[in-house]
Structure 1
Amino acid sequence: MKYLILTLLLLASPLLAVQPDEVLDDPALEARARDISTGLRCLVCRNESIDESNAELARDLRILLRERLVAGDTDQEAVEFIVDRYGEYVLLKPTTTGANLMLWLAGPIMLLIAAGMGWSFLRKRSQHQKAAHSDALSEEEQERLRQILED
């Protein structure tokens, strides 16, 4: 029984990151804040959203986000404000524009280059093997060689 309670507490711990004093009175604004904060990375915890993290910086980001929403910012404006302040690393799902586009495309491009090099290598090897087989003796040459070896 105590293992079940411990497991439930561990599973519920990310839900406890947002403190009661951070929660907005307006349920619609709070829902927007929760939705946005799931896409923002805690800069201390790396791969946790600010909604899941108990770090002080995550708390500061949650409060900043809620302040921007109360001030009347749209979801996009609030995210842009935080990105301008902390950099694009704060996004759990980075954009695919600018310098990031190069990073997103680098993997597939390298894969295509490697596949092309592999195909070229295999093609040259098969051509070399065909050339080696064409250098083999004809039936007439083999007969002549057999006669020479017997004498």
Structure 2
Amino acid sequence: MKRLILILSLIASPLWAVQPDEVLDDPALESRARSLSEGLRCLVCRNESIDESNAELARDLRLLLRERLVAGDSDEQAVAYIVDRYGEYVLLKPTATGANWLLWLAGPLMLLAAAGMGWGFVRGRATAAPATETALNPEEQERLRRILEE
């Protein structure tokens, strides 16, 4: 029974990232804070939301987000405030605008370029003249005969 409790507590440990002293009294604000913090990246843990992370910086970001919501900011304003302070890297799903279009399109464009080069290579081999074999001249035939006799 103790092992089961230990295993279940280890599995549920990311749920404990939000400390009890961080939880807001208003359930509606807390719900908004939780949904927003799921979309913000922990700058220490990488690919973990601040809601799941136990890092101190994630805690600071959770508190900052809750402060902004208590101050009356809308969801967009609170996220924009954090993005202005920490950069767009803090978003788990970056926006597809401006210079980010190049990053969003780089993968498909490289795939198309590779497919085009592969098609050109295969097409070039299909139309290439077959390689011709040349016979050995008498001098080379004599040398080969000596090597084989040894």
After TM superposition, the score normalised by the length of structure 1 is 0.82
**What is residue 16 of structure 2 aligned with on the other side?**
16
**What is residue 115 of structure 1 aligned with on the other side?**
115
1:105 aligns with 2:105: yes
Structure 1 unpaired stretches of 5+ = 136-151
Structure 2 unpaired stretches of 5+ = 133-150
Secondary structure of 1:23 counterpart: coil
For these two proteins, the number of residue pairs brought into alignment is 132
Deviations along 1:23-55, whole A, 9 cap, x unmatched?
111100000000000011111111211111111
Would you tell me which structure has more helix in proportion to its own residues? Answer: 1
Give the letter aligned to residue 77 of structure 1: Q
Aligned-residue sequence identity (percent) comes to 78
Give the letter aligned to residue 91 of structure 2: L
Give the letter aligned to residue 96 of structure 1: A
Displacement of 1:4: 1.8
**Equivalent residue runs for 1:125-144 within 5 Å:** 125-128=125-128, 131-132=129-130
Give the letter aligned to residue 59 of structure 2: R
Give the letter aligned to residue 92 of structure 1: L
**What is residue 2 of structure 1 aligned with on the other side?**
2
**Equivalent residue runs for 1:1-151 within 5 Å:** 1-128=1-128, 131-132=129-130
Deviations along 1:60-105, whole A, 9 cap, x unmatched?
1001000100111111111010000001111111111122211110
Give the aligned CA root-mean-square deviation in angstroms. Answer: 1.5
Deviations along 1:94-123, whole A, 9 cap, x unmatched?
111122211110011001001001111111
**What is residue 136 of structure 2 aligned with on the other side?**
none
